[in-house]
Amino acid sequence: MSLLPFVTGYNEAGCDEAGRGCLAGPVVAASVILPKNFKNQWLNDSKKLNEKKRNELRLIVESEAVSWGVGFVSPEEIDKINILQASFLAMHRAIDKLKKKPSHLAIDGNRFKKYRNINHSCIVKGDGKYMNIAAASILAKTHRDEYMYKIHQTYPKYDWNKNKGYPTKTHRLAISSYGKTEYHRNSFKLLPDQYEIIFN
């Protein structure tokens, strides 16, 4: 099924986030305004694409978008304000970076904290319905993955180059064996009850 270009009209920014369910690393959001007649047969929800295709699409979106922005919220901030508020904050930071003010915001999901005086629409599974949200999904995912690759170099035992901070068996075994790092979210349940966590 081909995606619709936008919810309300041209100059609308699509917004999505990545990393909400992770045990480690930031939550990252992106906001994208696509040109009026933008078309790409591969553009879809980032979770449905392989890494190679996502990275190819990132280059296309970043070069062809009218404007785009990416926002990060750290594990420390997530622990302080909770993951839902952190997701909203990441989106707000991404919108802040747009060089052009959008006429409307198309948000992936069912909730959003209003951004200034700009109206918004929340669309559940919007990254599989609208091109601008799908484009934001690609940027949020690829920018976050890039960050997780970098911090993997410091802590290779946690396998972040593969699991990207998500709660895989390998990741949880590493937490159990080596303890948590400054990149882990203390407000999340890092280990199931049968594991004993080591605190550094």
Q: How confident is the model at residue 95 (pLDDT cuts 50, 70, 90)?
A: very high
The pLDDT score that the predictor gives to residue 25 is 98
How many CA atoms lie within 13 Å of 53's alpha carbon, on the beta-carbon side?
13
* Residue in the structure block whose two tokens are 């994208």: 32
The pLDDT score that the predictor gives to residue 89 is 98
Q: How confident is the model at residue 200 (pLDDT cuts 50, 70, 90)?
A: very low
Q: Confirm whether 3 is domain-assigned.
A: no
The pLDDT score that the predictor gives to residue 2 is 84
Of how many residues is the chain composed? 200
Q: Confirm whether 178 is domain-assigned.
A: no
The total of structural domains in the chain comes to: 1
d(CA 72, CA 140): 9
Work out the average pLDDT over 109-115: 98
Full domain range(s) for residue 70: 12-152
Question: Which pTM was predicted?
Answer: 0.94
Q: How confident is the model at residue 199 (pLDDT cuts 50, 70, 90)?
A: very low
CA angle 114/78/177 to nearest 5° reads 155
Q: Which one, of 185, 131, 137, 181, lies nearest residue 157 by Cα? A: 181
Supply the CATH number for residue 100's domain: 3.30.420.10
Q: Confirm whether 168 is domain-assigned.
A: no
The pLDDT score that the predictor gives to residue 193 is 72
Q: Confirm whether 63 is domain-assigned.
A: yes
d(CA 52, CA 58): 10
Work out the average pLDDT over 170-182: 96
Q: Confirm whether 92 is domain-assigned.
A: yes
The pLDDT score that the predictor gives to residue 82 is 98
Q: Confirm whether 191 is domain-assigned.
A: no
Q: Which one, of 45, 91, 49, 40, lies nearest residue 68 by Cα? A: 91
pLDDT digits (tens, 9 = 90+) for 56-74: 999 999 999 999 999 999 9
Q: Confirm whether 7 is domain-assigned.
A: no
* Residue in the structure block whose two tokens are 């309300």: 8
Q: Confirm whether 53 is domain-assigned.
A: yes
What residues form DSSP beta bridges with 14?
32, 106
The pLDDT score that the predictor gives to residue 47 is 82
